[in-house]
Structure 1
């Protein structure tokens, strides 16, 4: 569902003053910002380690590409060979 700012403000204006709404939204923004910074700081080392561990992974995956392609061909051909050997 799409968030509609105008709808939320219009709906809230019926119950609270705009100043109170603004103050509440500012407080909520500060709480979210603090929580986001804490989350980033908590997992930052893991994030950096992940990106460090992924360095060179593309080369390793490329090296597997040819053997996996060959294995795929063998698997696809194997049922045909078995069928051809049936009496």
Structure 2
């Protein structure tokens, strides 16, 4: 699954176009490497999102949305200072 679609389906980001814009702005890293919007995501990947002053790290647990189950596991959420 593409990273922009994963972020939308998992409800980390509300819209796919917003997820695409975040990736184009070089604010998404998968396993420590810069990710483009079309980068494929696999189970077990670590995704680091730089959203505003927050840095969110998640681990991909599932690629399909199931009722009452998250598609990711929150590893850390930090606030950056300017």
Tell me which protein shows more strand as a share of its residues: 2
Q: Same fold (TM over 0.5)?
A: no
Which is greater in Rg? 1
Tell which has more relative contact order, 1 or 2 (C-alpha 8 A, sep 6+): 2
- Report the TM range for the smaller structure's normalisation: under 0.3
Tell me which protein shows more helix as a share of its residues: 1
TM-score by length of 2: 0.17
